[in-house]
Amino acid sequence: MASQNLQPVPEALSPEEQERAAQLEAEGQAYFDRVMADDSRIEPKDWMPAAYRKTLLRQISQHAHSEIIGMQPEANWISRAPSLKRKAILMAKVQDEAGHGLYLYSAAETLGQSRDKMTDDLIAGKARYSSIFNYPALTWADMGAIGWLVDGAAICNQVPLCRASYGPYGRAMVRICKEESFHQRQGFEILLELSNGTPAQKQMAQDAVNRWYAPALMMFGPPDDDSPNSKQSMAWNIKRFSNDELRSRFVGMMVEQVRVLGLTLPDSEVRFNDETRKWEHGPLDWEEFKEVLAGRGPCNAQRLERRREAHDDGAWVREAAAAYAAKQARKHAEKEYAA
């Protein structure tokens, strides 16, 4: 938000200055177009179209918010994890998500918006995060299903983002994808253990897969013919594959893995289409998706309230840290001045 601090321009630009500005703009656009054509990278100080900046800011901040809100359903089970090893793994995983949120907020800050502003937008209900986290994590098996299905879907979405045209975003995604892949495997392992456990454990696992399957498929976003932003994002080399393409790939992976788990997908219409060479799935309830997106999901209010509460309760701590840092800086400056 540095632009807000600039002094107002005293006078209108002269014709020469206007011409120079237009020329700079044209040069910037030409460079940007070449970067897109070469499938190369835009860095924070490069010229970029306002709409490109806005799209990225929206996407990266939403992604960051999703990591932070996404901590909640899993944090819900840290205190009750059924073995100490599982407790340690779960703690580490939720902690990773806080780390992912931090990288992503930092990447978004390179586009000119502060983390404070993004956080304010989130808790004011103005910013979105992935709808999937508005579903409740009801049993321990949900820790498995979230890792396997939700993180699995996230990986399908995110691996291509490692090549996103905006440098800081692509680089953040490389690290995030490595950790996500570990998260997915731990989710798979939880389900595998449950599936091979007692009948009650196996039932718990199947129930969780039944509940998370459809919401996970909807994480890829609306069908291609109803996804207004996709085309432009693909032209800008941010998005590499369409929502339906990624969803289909994901279904194919899950079909294989669910067999190893000894569980089933709650979808009798999953099949490989020999003509299109793509995996297909049964109909998804896009009305429900829109409802949850509009704030009418099972946990929307709860998730936002929890974030708001943590933020508000922590205000005095952040103020103290800032005040202390300012005092220290003053002290050091005085010391240097004296010396």
Partner 1 sequence: MTTPETHTAETTGHGDISVGVAGSGDSSASATRITPGNALRPEDIALEVRTGLVKPSEDVAEYALRLGDDALILAQRLGRWISRAPELEEDVALGNIALDQLGHARSFLTYAGGAWEKSEDDLAYFRREHEFRSAHLFEQPNGDFAVTIARQFVVSYYQFELYRRLTQSTDATLAAIAAKAVKEVDYHRDHSAQWILRLALGTKESRARMTHGLKLVWPYVGELFVDDELTTRLAGAGAAVEPSSLKADFDRLTGEVLAEAELEVPQTPVAPGGGRRGKHSEHLGYILAEMQVLAREHPGASW
Question: What is the C-alpha to C-alpha distance for residues 337 and 312, in angstroms, rounded to an integer?
Answer: 38
Residue 43: Cβ-neighbour burial (10 angstroms; 0-12, 13-18, 19+) = exposed
DSSP helix/strand/coil, 115: helix
CB 238 within 8 A of CB 231: no
DSSP string, 166-230: BHHHHHHHHHHHHHHHHHHHHHHHHHHHHHTS-HHHHHHHHHHHHHHHHHHHHTT-S-GGG-TTH
DSSP helix/strand/coil, 11: coil
Tell me whether residue 136 or residue 160 sits nearer to partner 1 (CB atom). Answer: 136
Write each residue from 198 to 237 as x if it is in contact with partner 1 (CB under 8 A), else as -, in one continuous string.
x-xx------------------------------------
Tell me whether residue 65 or residue 247 sits nearer to partner 1 (CB atom). Answer: 65
Q: Which of 44, 82, 112, 223 binds partner 1 (CB under 8 A)?
A: 82
Tell me whether residue 45 or residue 85 sits nearer to partner 1 (CB atom). Answer: 85
Tell me whether residue 99 or residue 125 sits nearer to partner 1 (CB atom). Answer: 99
Q: How far is the CB of 187 from partner 1 (least distance, A)?
A: 13
* Beta-carbon count within 10 A of 228 CB: 7
Instruction: Kindly state the tokens that stand for 78.
Output: 């840290």
Asked if 91 interacts with partner 1 (CB under 8 A), we say yes
Q: How far is the CB of 98 from partner 1 (least distance, A)?
A: 4
Give the range of 148-156, 234-242, 253-261, 318-326 binding partner 1 by CB under 8 A.
318-326
Tell me whether residue 128 or residue 306 sits nearer to partner 1 (CB atom). Answer: 306
DSSP 162: G
Tell me whether residue 80 or residue 290 sits nearer to partner 1 (CB atom). Answer: 80
Asked if 98 interacts with partner 1 (CB under 8 A), we say yes
How many residues contact partner 1, by CB under 8 A?
Answer: 50
Q: Which of 318, 329, 330, 333 binds partner 1 (CB under 8 A)?
A: 318
Instruction: Kindly state the tokens that stand for 179.
Output: 């950790």
Residue 316: Cβ-neighbour burial (10 angstroms; 0-12, 13-18, 19+) = exposed
Cross-strand bridge partners of residue 42: 166
Q: How far is the CB of 248 from partner 1 (least distance, A)?
A: 33
Binding residues vs partner 1 (CB under 8 A) = 68, 71-72, 75, 78-88, 91-92, 94-95, 98-99, 101-102, 105, 140, 190, 193-194, 197-198, 200-201, 306, 309-310, 313-325, 327-328
